[in-house]
Amino acid sequence: RLDDIGGPNSHSNIPWGWAQAGNTPLKWYKQNTHGGGVRDPLIVHHPARLRQPGGFRRQFCHVIDLAPTILEVAGARAPEVFAGVPQMPVHGKSLVPALHDEHAPAARDTQYFEMLGHRGLWHAGWKAVTKHRPGAPFDEDRWELYHLESDFSESVDHSADQPDRVKQLVDLWWHEAERNGVLPLDDRGAALLFRAAPRPGLPTSRSRFVYYPPVSHIVSDACPSAARSFAITVELEHPAGGGDGALIARGNGNSGFALYVKDGRVEFDYNAFHEHTRVVAARALPPGRRRIELRVKRAEDKSAEVDLSCDGETLASGRIPRLLVILSSTGMDFGRSPAPVNGAYAAPFAYPGRLERVVFDLAEKDTAGDRTAEAEAKARAAMSRQ
């Protein structure tokens, strides 16, 4: 599907191989503390103050240095107390001296890194870094050593011939980690974060979500779970002249689902990464006040049975071969579909009738395995957006 890259049927995340090519000549990816995971370009535009437009600066800097830089340029100071709450000290240093002088020393001489157990430390031009294997003791991590001043891409490892420098930097890493609140280290993965801190507004005991238009868009993190059995009830006023449009749409052309009226008939499309399951009513939706119900019942093999009904009468049924643990990160909409989940309609596909109420009911019971799988999938999705 090479021709799909960059088009409407592709995801914003490029494939791993292209990511590695894009990181060249740096090692590894985001989530790692090698150069491929932590190095980014910084472009500064300030005609009133910069005397060398188009110039380059090679001093080490970190994202924490941006806030103090902006504060200095703006002639402002970070408050020590805000709204009665004492503030953390600003950790970074202003980059203004380096912006004016390409030979100015770096604003700081030390910076630690830590991500999912991967660790690194830059100090005075040298960098010690380790790629951690989840579950392995941290004391068994192998530290590499690079001289970034002469080796931008971390290609020449000096750890074997300079063990004393490695020890010095590793000891300094522990000092910086303790000083900045990194400890204790935890490599159990980002899934732990989702189990410990559920999505905002979604307590684990909640199983019913009621929406009243004119609510339109719900961000992904606030959407009801679609990883287990669920039911959707839509109470609406269908116009006398009929009319097509989306009732509920979640996701996009990569994954998601949509409940809509097309050619006068109610349809449901479940898109599992371009594997579509479409359930279509055999007859047109009559005008007037209607109650449309969609029930998705998950089976042990992760497939799901789908039943579509109107006013208590079954309209159609089908089977989803694979119910996804996590859907697209683009959220959910009511009464429209800004990002179509299939090619049967075009955005915004606004429904001409009136939605009165939409209710999501989640299965009260699920297994611990389902919850863990959902948390891990959400973690992977979150990490892909970092």
Instruction: Tell me the sheet residues that pair with 270.
Output: 257, 277
The answer to whether 216 touches 370, Cβ cutoff 8 Å, is: no
Q: How far is CA 343 from CA 242, 340, 346, in A?
A: 21, 7, 7
The reported pTM is: 0.64
Answer whether residue 43 shows pLDDT above 90. Answer: yes
Q: Please say whether the dihedral angle defined by the alpha carbons of residues 259, 261, 266 and 271, taken in this order, is positive or negative.
A: negative
**C-alpha to C-alpha distance for 358 and 211, rounded to whole angstroms:** 5
Instruction: Tell me the sheet residues that pair with 278.
Output: 269
Integer Rg of the chain from CA: 27
**C-alpha to C-alpha distance for 356 and 234, rounded to whole angstroms:** 8
Interval 127-166: pLDDT, tens: 999 999 988 999 999 999 999 999 999 999 999 999 999 9
Answer whether residue 90 shows pLDDT above 50. Answer: yes
Closest by CA to 112, choosing from 123, 100, 101, is 123
241 or 365, which is more confident: 241
Closest by CA to 189, choosing from 132, 230, 273, 148, is 132
Q: Please say whether the dihedral angle defined by the alpha carbons of residues 253, 259, 265 and 269, taken in this order, is positive or negative.
A: positive
Interval 327-353: pLDDT, tens: 888 899 999 999 999 999 999 999 999
Answer whether residue 372 shows pLDDT above 70. Answer: no
Average pLDDT over residues 346-368: 86
> Using 50, 70 and 90 to split pLDDT, how confident is the model at 369?
very low
- If one counts every other C-beta atom within 10 angstroms of the C-beta of residue 19, the result is 14
**C-alpha to C-alpha distance for 169 and 163, rounded to whole angstroms:** 10
**C-alpha to C-alpha distance for 27 and 38, rounded to whole angstroms:** 10
Per-chain mean pLDDT for the chain? 88
> Using 50, 70 and 90 to split pLDDT, how confident is the model at 195?
very low
Q: Which residue bears the tokens 């080796």?
A: 151
**C-alpha to C-alpha distance for 88 and 76, rounded to whole angstroms:** 17
Q: Which residue bears the tokens 């941006």?
A: 66
HEC profile of 61-79 = CCHHHHHHHHHHHHCCCCC
241 or 308, which is more confident: 308
